[in-house]
């Protein structure tokens, strides 16, 4: 398979319980016989690892991209075949240390150990170790990585953007998107199951005629627009673009696997 994320780990990221900047993130080497499972949640469920897990040093999170120094596992005893790398948050107990990312498309893997030193280089392209991509705003992704957005407990709202809105990766707070159409609505009955964010459809009621809705934006409402961080711009909404005509509008989220958005690759 290809590099992916663990759904249970992504639940924790969406719940604000992972702070990639300050938490101790480590990488462990898994044998080629390991079989990835979406049900794996903690390091203890992975079975044996090869060598000793190493911390991610000099971590950076820029524009939603996690990066760190290349890994150095030192000399590893011969007789094993490294098939993949797993990234996890080390709590000090393997039974409570959540697994986050499974990486089997890594330069040099699979690799047979022979008693020599093993180093693992990270991808030098745009993705690095892991990237929270569109529809998430890069600045919003940075806040998600920092654990400062809890999709279950925070006041997450959706606003309607006019078709004239031009996406900008530098947009960070609600005023950056300009005027919105109608009144933003709180998302009710939110879930983060399996790293997929979902909520009830949003009822905006009657909207004055004369506008064209092109997309919607999700944000965390802090009570002050200037400090309310943008999270994601969603364009895949049934019925959009839509010209308002004085009638009511209900934004219906996708019934596909990604729902509003997903942190698990399709």
Express each pLDDT in 73-88 by its tens digit.
999 999 999 999 999 9
Q: What is the pLDDT of residue 258?
A: 86
Cα–Cα distance, 129 to 31 (Å, whole number):
20
Do 93 and 179 fall into the same domain? no
Element (H, E) at 145: helix 138-145
Indicate the residue among 131, 159, 178 that finishes a domain: 131
Cα–Cα distance, 54 to 225 (Å, whole number):
41
Q: What is the pLDDT of residue 1?
A: 65
Do 159 and 203 fall into the same domain? yes
Indicate the residue among 131, 163, 179 that finishes a domain: 131
Do 188 and 73 fall into the same domain? no
Task: Check: CB of residue 143 under 8 Å from CB of residue 122.
Answer: no
Indicate the residue among 131, 165, 182 that finishes a domain: 131
> Above 80 in pLDDT, residue 228?
yes
Do 97 and 17 fall into the same domain? yes
Map tokens 């509003």 to a residue. 260
The pTM score is 0.93
106 in helix, strand or coil? coil
Strands 212-220 and 230-234: antiparallel
Neighbours of 159 (CB within 10 A): 23
Structure tokens at 21: 């900047």
Do 16 and 69 fall into the same domain? yes
In eight-state DSSP terms, residue 225 is G
pLDDT band at 97 (very low <50, low <70, confident <90, very high): very high
Q: How many structural domains is the chain composed of?
A: 2
Cα–Cα distance, 158 to 240 (Å, whole number):
15
Please compute Rg for the chain using Cα positions: 21
> Above 80 in pLDDT, residue 222?
yes
Do 153 and 126 fall into the same domain? no
Domain that holds residue 210: 138-262
- Please enumerate in sequence order all residues whose Cβ is within 8 A of that of 241, keeping only pairs 6 or more positions apart, or say none: 163, 212, 213, 214
Task: Check: CB of residue 234 under 8 Å from CB of residue 135.
Answer: yes
pLDDT band at 145 (very low <50, low <70, confident <90, very high): very high
Do 22 and 110 fall into the same domain? yes
């Amino acid at each position: 398979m290809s590099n992916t994320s663990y759904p249970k780990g992504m639940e924790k990221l969406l719940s604000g319980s992972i702070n990639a900047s300050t938490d101790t993130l480590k990488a462990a080497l898994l044998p080629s016989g390991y079989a990835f499972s979406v049900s794996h949640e903690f390091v203890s469920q992975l079975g044996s690892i090869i060598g000793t897990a190493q911390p991610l040093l000099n971590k950076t999170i820029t524009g939603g991209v996690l990066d760190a120094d290349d890994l150095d596992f030192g000399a590893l005893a011969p007789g094993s075949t490294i098939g993949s790398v797993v990234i996890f948050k080390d709590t000090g107990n393997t039974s409570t240390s959540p697994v986050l990312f499974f990486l089997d498309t890594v330069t040099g893997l699979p690799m047979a150990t022979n008693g020599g030193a093993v180093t693992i280089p990270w991808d030098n392209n745009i993705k690095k170790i892991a990237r929270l991509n569109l529809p998430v705003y890069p600045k919003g992704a940075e806040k998600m990585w920092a654990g400062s957005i809890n999709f279950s407990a925070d006041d997450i709202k959706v606003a309607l953007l006019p078709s004239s809105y031009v996406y900008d990766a530098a947009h960070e707070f609600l005023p950056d998107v300009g005027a919105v159409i109608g009144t933003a609505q709180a998302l009710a009955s939110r879930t983060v199951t399996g790293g997929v964010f979902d909520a009830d459809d949003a009822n905006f009621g009657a909207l004055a005629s004369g506008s064209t809705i092109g997309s919607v934006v999700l944000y965390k409402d802090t009570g002050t627009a200037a400090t309310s961080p943008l999270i994601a711009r969603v364009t895949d909404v049934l019925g959009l673009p839509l010209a308002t005509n004085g009638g009511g509008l209900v934004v219906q989220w996708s019934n596909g696997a990604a729902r509003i958005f997903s942190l698990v690759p399709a």
